[in-house]
Amino acid sequence: MSRLRRTVHGLVDGALRPLGLELRRRRPTVRTVLERIEGAALRPATVLDVGAAYGDWAAECAAVFPAARYLLIEPLEEFTPFLREREASLSDARHLCLAAARDDGEATIHVHADLVGSSLLDEQDRSLSGIGDRVVRAATIDTIVAETGSAGPFLLKVDAQGAELDVLAGAPGTLDETLAVVLEVSFQAFFVGGPEVGEVVRAMAERGFVLYDVVEPLYRPLDGALAQADAVFVPVSSPLRSDPRFVDAVGRARRDADFREGFESRLRRISRR
């Protein structure tokens, strides 16, 4: 950071701190990652939004990939009015009221009072309030793709409250044609039998995908610890990984100059002691 930039940053930060605010670089969001994918000329023909809820994620994705087909997969019928609205607002979208799962058939979902926390898995926190259990239709991603006549390449988002790897177990064929996978991952053992982030990274590596970015962190109110985030995985051979440089030549020169300025400034302070 140059002297002028450090000065401006310091002045703005100093003005904000009495208000309990702090100046920080804006964290990347799922939208910025989607724009990077599009910038690499990677465009999905079909986007599968597993755990669609209100359909907000699909709408955000459609702002980047408006020509894609959208499959809005959500097992809770309470969200149907919102997803029907998304069907009408997107150019090519279809709402499927079912649970994406490891196998075709039926599944029991534990419905929470907040609805979005509902899961096929039990919560470790036994005091969590819930509406009750509900049996819903279940289908694998590969079955859904075949039944809807959807074609790749695919972009897959899975927010299944701890059951993400079970969902992917039913998608081997789809993953072969997938440009990127966005998974909600947990940094705490919230679900009985649910994987934590390390296990998810290993499981994705076995499928030929590597961690590309982590966005949208969620911190638990209990103690402020990192609880969940959206992890973006891409194939090992993805064009997004083709450039091994950390920064381009112009950026490197700027960083070197900033380092030298800072290094010499600290050296002068030491010499005056």
- Write out pLDDT tens, residues 186-242: 998 888 888 999 999 999 999 999 999 999 999 999 999 999 999 999 999 999 999
Scored b (16 or more CB within 10 A) or e, 215-243 reads bbeeeeeeeeeebbbbbbbbbeebebeee
CATH topology of domain 27-242: Rossmann fold (3.40.50)
- Write out pLDDT tens, residues 108-119: 988 888 888 788
Q: Compute the distance between CA of residue 47 and CA of residue 155 in angstroms, rounded to an integer.
A: 5
pTM score, whole prediction: 0.86
pLDDT of 194:
87
- Write out pLDDT tens, residues 86-143: 999 999 999 999 999 999 999 998 888 888 878 887 777 777 656 788 999 999 999 9
Q: What is the largest CA-CA distance in the chain?
A: 76
Distance of CA 250 to the CA centre of its chain: 31
Q: Name the E strands within 165-248.
A: 178-186, 209-219, 226-235
Note if the bond before 153 is cis, omega within 30 degrees: yes
C-alpha gyration radius of the chain: 22
- For the chain, the structural domain boundaries read 27-242, 245-273
pLDDT of 52:
96
